[in-house]
Amino acid sequence: MNIPNEALVLVGDGRKALFLRNRGTPANPELVLEDQIEQDNPPTREQGTDRPGRKPGTDGVSRSAIEETDQHQRAEQLFAARLADTLYKMGHAHRFQALLVVAPPRMLGDLRAALHPEVAQRVIGEVPKDLLSHSLPEMTRLLS
């Protein structure tokens, strides 16, 4: 994939996001860290365990369980909305013209749904992978 010079590359998951800038050429990218955002998001089991609620059935006699909210997934969706808001502000400040988004598939979907149309128009590509466990040089190699 060719990453244009000065393009913004967002590499993230549900807990952390790196904002990288390509200071190299499209053929020979050089990704440089500009900013990062982190959010504490422990597993659902650590965010609260409660018995599922109950609701009366349609017959008025039976009762059925209500599925408990997955707090971990909800926190990831809120993080995606926070990233989308950050990208919107960066776009209005003319901090990027081209955006490459790299994230696991579920996070990519959450982010895509939260992006403002002005930002979505600047997306030049999406890579459905989790690259946060890699070093910056390794990310650059995998994306070029």
Please indicate, yes or no, if residue 27 is contained in any of the structural domains: yes
In a domain, 78, yes or no: yes
Is residue 122 predicted with pLDDT exceeding 70? Answer: yes
Q: 24 with 30: CB under 8 angstroms?
A: yes
pTM, two decimals, is 0.79
**Average per-residue pLDDT in the chain?**
87
Instruction: State both tokens at 98.
Output: 């081209």
Domain residues for 36? 8-40+69-143
106 CB-near residues (< 8 Å, 6+ apart): 14, 76
**85-90 CB contacts, 8 Å cutoff, 24+ apart:** 86/37, 87/10, 87/115, 87/116, 87/119, 88/115, 88/116, 88/118, 88/119, 90/8
Q: At what angle do helices 105-114 and 71-92 cross, to 10 degrees?
A: 50
Mean local confidence (pLDDT), 4-23: 95
In a domain, 23, yes or no: yes
pLDDT of residue 80: 94
Does residue 50 lie within any of the structural domains? no
Residue 85 CA to residue 134 CA, distance in Å, equals 26
Q: Is residue 58 part of a domain?
A: no
Tens of pLDDT, residues 22-71 = 999 998 999 999 999 998 755 655 555 556 566 676 776 776 666 665 67
| Nearest CA among 19, 22, 17 for reference residue 5 | 22
Number of structural domains the chain divides into: 1
CATH number for the domain that contains residue 73: 3.30.420.60
Query: What pLDDT is stored for residue 141 in this prediction?
Result: 93
Q: How sure is the predictor about 84, in pLDDT bands with cuts at 50, 70 and 90?
A: very high
